[in-house]
Structure 1
Amino acid sequence: MGQADNSCLIQINGGYVVVDSVGDAIDSNGNVEVTGGVLLVSGPTSDGDGAFDYDGSATISGGTVLMVGSTGMAQSFTGGTQAFAMASASAEAGQSVCVVDGSGNVVTSFTATKRFGMVLTSSPAFAEGGEYTLVIGGEVANANADSYTDSDAVSGGSETAITASCTASAGVGGAGGMDAGGANGAGGIGGAGGPAAGGGK
């Protein structure tokens, strides 16, 4: 992991951004801040690249994020005032990815354009410690052309339980890759400084 350049900042504070990436998708030599808007990311598929790649910190205080990508260099948020969740989940290109709350309502969704092994998500609807369901391959009602919606419902698909938090989970570090078990938290899915499949960042 290189030394962060604090003069470098990617800030997303509004709009509707869709990224289909072959290499690193959201890539900063310094920090990342998400304060608003909608950010949907597919890719990369290479374990030498990541959907999220930063050398400093990555915080979220607003907006909706749904990223899918490879696992080897996977990173999440380091913290923020809005809860987020990261999970090990895999599917092929063309399948829908949805996050559903305890009442069965879709919080966010879209269709992946590439195969993936991890999901990172955050939403204003998330509560600290809240439990949600990640649904892969379901049919989303009333979504747009990207299969994005922040309301309505999904039917079918495979389910994975996730827990949202505003802070990094213990044992999950920004420099790690994704280990086989997977876990929710900031940084890579895998312990900071510990061994991880695909290598650390």
Structure 2
Amino acid sequence: MVALYTSLFSLGSVSECLQTLLAQGIRLYPAHIPWLQGMADLRYAGHEPTSSLRHYLEACLVSSEYFSRPVPRTVLSEAVLRRMIKCCSALHCYTQAAVLCQFLDDVDYASAFQYASERSCSDAMDAYYECVWDVTLLEFLTSLHHRRAERTKRQQVIKLIGQLELNSNNNEEIQREAAAVRKARFLRAMVKQYAA
């Protein structure tokens, strides 16, 4: 039955029509989050990771007033985060993907460690370390750089682990604030790269 309905429509035509509609909607209402999310989803489905990331980030930007407040979970949901991680991975921006793994409700350590271990990385690896707030990920990075004999990078990560606000004995409020500051810093950097 499904095959009957899909044969009546050209998927390319529907996609083109939807893209035209979304582009016009964004042109008329550039701060309308559902239009931006719809375009991001369409670009993701069309295997256009750069454009997809740009629209997801623009939706985050608009919803948080340029990250002056937290991005609502309705905009940066688990599904959207996983799509953004896949987009970064497709672009060989593995450090960005690893940092985004922290944004998930349950940190995806397996993926974060895998991405952090990639040698052929197309992003500024250690420039994003200041955006990491998860101590487990920072400890993994320390170990990784030790195994690779990358002394300078290892020292940089050790210095980050020593920051007072990342202390695991801090109360929840301080830990949440430290995470929020680093999330905003990271998302601003992503916007500069993909949406500027």
For the criterion TM > 0.5, the same-fold answer is no
Query: Whose RCO is larger (CA < 8 A, sep 6+)?
Result: 1
Query: TM-score, length-normalised on structure 1?
Result: 0.31
Q: Whose strand fraction is larger, Structure 1's or Structure 2's?
A: 1
Query: TM-score, length-normalised on structure 2?
Result: 0.31
Q: Whose helix fraction is larger, Structure 1's or Structure 2's?
A: 2
